[in-house]
Amino acid sequence: MNYNNFTLVTNPLVKREITILRDKNTCVRDFRRSLNRLAFHLAVAVSENLELDEILIETPLEVTKGVKIKNSIVLIPVLRAGLSMVSSFVELMPNAKVGHIGLQRDEETLLPIEYYYKTPKNLEEAKVFILDPMLATGGSACAAFDFIKKRGAKDLYFVSIISAPEGIENLHKNHPEVKIYSTSIDRGLNENGYIVPGLGDAGDRTFGTL
């Protein structure tokens, strides 16, 4: 499948971690660890978009050129499951600011219910990365971008572990400028709106609330 503005981040280590996430016998501890490691791979991949300023530094031997990150970076996890991706991103992007968006999918209508928003100022100057391990119908992702675009965000990225084709298409249709990074495109959605084969409910499996 070929999508515009979509990058599949994959390699043998990524494939092994996804296998651990999918396995229903994986315990909460191992589930979190694999999510963290996958988020690390994704953070490296999206860092290709960062720009550099040249600086001069002194080694013990001489003055030489180095670099610093030019961009202001804002990470916005979608609560709850997106929280599990923050620590890996912050590890690699230590100056990033972190906002939060609380969305809960209604189990009947599958529409997102908004319950919390707190984002940093000056979103218009930042590269803004929405973090959520699951892109299912795309309703939550679209609601998150609706919100941050109203607050001026322009340079937009969505970072997920597992994506359904339905969610990718929905996000492309409503927010075509968003660059999506994901470690898997799964087959589709079942009658309850769950990604198949998927990994189940990412929030419940991360926080042990099954």
* 203 in contact with ligand PRP (CB under 6 A): yes
For ligand URA, give the closer residue by CB, 185 or 202: 202
Instruction: Spell out the residues 6+ positions from residue 122 whose beta carbon is closer than 8 angstroms to its own.
Output: 72, 152
Binding ligand URA by CB under 6 A: which of 134, 171, 180, 185? Answer: 134
Contacts of ligand URA in 63-122 (CB under 6 A): 81
Given 10, 22, 151, 201, which residue is catalytic?
201
Q: Which is nearer to ligand PRP, 71 or 179 (CB)?
A: 179
CA-based nearest residue to 124, from 154, 92, 94 = 154
The question of whether 201 is a catalytic residue gets the answer: yes
| Distance between CA atoms of residues 92 and 82, nearest Å | 17
Q: Which two tokens stand for residue 27?
A: 């315990």
Contact call for residue 38 and ligand URA (CB under 6 A): no
Exposed/middle/buried for residue 131 (C-beta within 10 Å: 0-12, 13-18, 19+): buried
77 near ligand PRP (CB under 6 A): no
Helix H or strand E segment including 202: helix 202-207
How many helices and strands, by DSSP H and E, does the chain display?
A: 6, 13
- Catalytic status, residue 53: no
Catalytic residue among 19, 64, 109, 209: 109
Least gap, CB of 54 to ligand URA (angstroms): 43
- In the bound state with ligand URA, the residue whose beta carbon lies nearer, of 126 and 134, is 134
Q: What residues line the site for ligand URA (CB under 6 A)?
A: 81, 134, 136, 194-195, 198, 201-203
